[in-house]
Structure 1
């Protein structure tokens, strides 16, 4: 049985599986396709051997039998008979998911495809303006979705007048392009550990530590104690001058990458998403993000005319996955 056969007016499980967290919720899809999302449950992927064992843990936590229909978004390219996550040891076998999870109907999509579906359905209040013209997202044309988290997600939303198409991509794995001497040093540092340095190595959660280390070496300082989570908290709270400088550099790099993606897709308007994107909603407008986004040489004037927004829905992956299921069922 496929998602198309599942019909509407149903309850489903939605899942957003990232490198660090596996988020779940029960969602109700009304007969008209409207989605009502239940209270999210967040599990650590490191605490569970597989999606199947995390699914079983979810059922125990909720104290009930889970619905037999599901929308699953995962941080990996959905190709072939085996799906291996980029930033997690979990491995999925799409052809066996239905039997493993006890499902009659399901869809499996890329996590940033799910976010793109959320952007497509977002209310105006769920989109905060960052830079460029403060206008609504267009009804026609391309919209780029860029989101830093454990990795760097990128997707394309294409609107063609009454219809929307989501294109899954792995754009976060393009080459990192340094733009000044500090970023030259950052690239050299990362090359000591990676054969190839992608944009994701810089514009993602672990990237802040790499940036901090380069700045610390520049000033002959020691690295702070604690993990990446502690470093991010220190940077966002502004309790340390070097972590604040690292955060500013992170925002510069995010602006440059977002601008490159916008150029690739048109240029096109951009929506910033991702777990870190949400945490940076108050930081980005005060940073050099906008300057770097538009700093594209002969195309600078054109880039300054591209609207950049940030989605503030607390669970866009879950929300978007549910909408993707509803849309697939209605087709």
Structure 2
């Protein structure tokens, strides 16, 4: 396969499936379309819908998907789609079919970002070739890392960091922890730091205050908090950002992310109006003897549109370039 013509790339989350066409010569994206995952019984069905509605050929396809990709069998964490990579490639007659974890794609997107496509939240200057972490709250909580190799290429390191234990740090958080433990058994970071987590956090804080409230959606919590018309919603969002700061600081220490910690996902950009006044950065830096280390590491909120699609495209670009180089070396 040479770097010419077009391919189709997709970013598949637990709620939405984003597709676009990519020009293999210029790597420009067009024909972007978003589908609700719940409207389609299988991944192949939504791929066919994109093909038919956009009148594009499905020959070379690369997708990022919200679950581990460690074998031929892929089973989504927060949705019911399950498929065989080889089986789907054969069934749809694809010449190329690359499947990678969605936060491997999010990590790859970091090299495509321009300064105006991210907002820095504290810290110093990111080291260009330093390790980077990306964390994103949406339907779930995704985590990935990006390292630069000696030859200048980059390697994404996908993981399931969103499923580590959530660590309460004060009396209120212990109350939230007990509320969630009674509901779920184990309390992972994703139970707090996600859209569904925001909804449960709202109920947990109401319980902490001895209030009886009706469940509301994450979107409603965000709207009420931004408008300042619901003190419980404001407290919920502030608690979300405080816990996100602690979690992001842990990532910074784990991989010494001198290249920065990057916040992706659908939740945070919508709540940016409350992030600056929250304890996000204070909790990021509150690391005891290693406060100074975290104080130097910058955080960025990614504001670019379709960063996941760009990350898949970047991964495809690098994969194809490396493949062509191997072919040239063997000639």
Identify which of 87, 90, 110 aligns with 2:78.
87
Q: Alignment partner of 1:281: what SS?
A: helix
1:14 aligns with 2:6: no
In the alignment, is the contact (CA less than 8 A) between 2:195 and 2:267 conserved in 1? yes
Residue 319 of structure 1: aligned partner: 310
Residue from 269, 287, 290 that aligns with 1:299: 290
Aligned to 1:265: 255
1:46 is matched with which residue?
38
CA gap 1:237/1:108 in 2 versus in 1, 3 angstroms:
farther
1:286 aligns to what SS in structure 2?
Answer: coil
Q: 1:164 to 1:267 in 2, by over 3 A?
A: closer
**Residue in structure 2 matched with residue 77 of structure 1 by the alignment:** 68
Contact 1:13–1:70 (CA<8 Å) still a contact in 2? yes
| Aligned equivalent of 2:161, options 167, 171, 175 | 171
Deviation at 1:141, TM superposition (A): 2.4
Residues 79-125 of structure 1: per-residue CA shift (max 9 Å, x gap): 12321111111112112121233311121110011111111221122
Matched-pair contact (CA < 8 Å) for 1:25–1:37:
yes
Quote how far apart the aligned CAs of 1:25 are: 1.1
Question: In structure 1, what is the equivalent of residue 299 of structure 2?
Answer: 308
Structure 1 distance, partners of 2:293, 2:186, is 31
1:225 deviates by: 5.3
Q: 1:119 aligns with which of 110, 114, 122?
A: 110
For residues 221-264 of structure 1, the C-alpha deviation after alignment (integer angstroms, 9 at most, x for no partner) is 33245433333333344331110110000000100100011111
Once residues 22 and 28 of structure 1 are traced to their aligned partners in structure 2, the CA distance between those partners, rounded to angstroms, is: 20
Structure 2 length normalisation: TM-score? Answer: 0.92
1:171 and 1:261, CA in 2 relative to 1: closer, same or farther beyond 3 A? same
For residues 290 and 41 of structure 2, what CA distance do their matches in structure 1 show?
48
2:29 corresponds to which residue? Answer: 37
1:3 aligns to what?
none
Deviation (angstroms), 1:40: 2.3
**3-state SS of paired residue (2:108):** helix
1:274 Cα deviation from its structure 2 partner: 1.1
1:212 aligns with 2:202: yes
Aligned residue number for residue 289 of structure 1: 280
SS at match of 1:280: helix
**What's the secondary structure of 2:184's corresponding residue?**
coil
Q: CA–CA distance in 2 between the matches of 1:243 and 1:250?
A: 10
What is the distance in 2 between the residues matched to 1:207 and 1:58?
31
User: Which consecutive residues of structure 1, in runs of 5 or more, have no partner in the other structure?
Assistant: 1-5
Structure 1 match to 2:329: none
Inter-CA distance 299–225: structure 2 relative to 1 (3 Å threshold): closer
User: Aligned pair in 2 of structure 1 residues 100, 227: CA closer, same or farther (>3 Å)?
Assistant: farther
Compute the displacement of 1:45 (Å).
0.9
- Cα distance in 2 for residues equivalent to 1:279 and 1:224: 23
Query: Matches of 1:46 and 1:93 in 2, distance apart?
Result: 20
* Structure 1 vs Structure 2 CA RMSD: 1.6
Does the Cα contact within 8 Å between 2:139 and 2:196 map onto a contact in 1? yes
Q: Structure 2 unaligned runs (5+)?
A: 323-331
Aligned residues: 320
The TM-score, its normalising length taken from structure 1, stands at 0.92
Instruction: Answer yes or no: is the 8 Å Cα contact 1:173–1:198 preserved in 2.
Output: yes
- In structure 2, the residue matched to 1:130 is 121
Change in CA separation of 1:248 and 1:39 when aligned onto 2, cut-off 3 Å: farther
Cα distance in 2, alignment partners of residues 262 and 248 from structure 1? 21
Q: Which residue of 2 aligns with 1:153?
A: 142
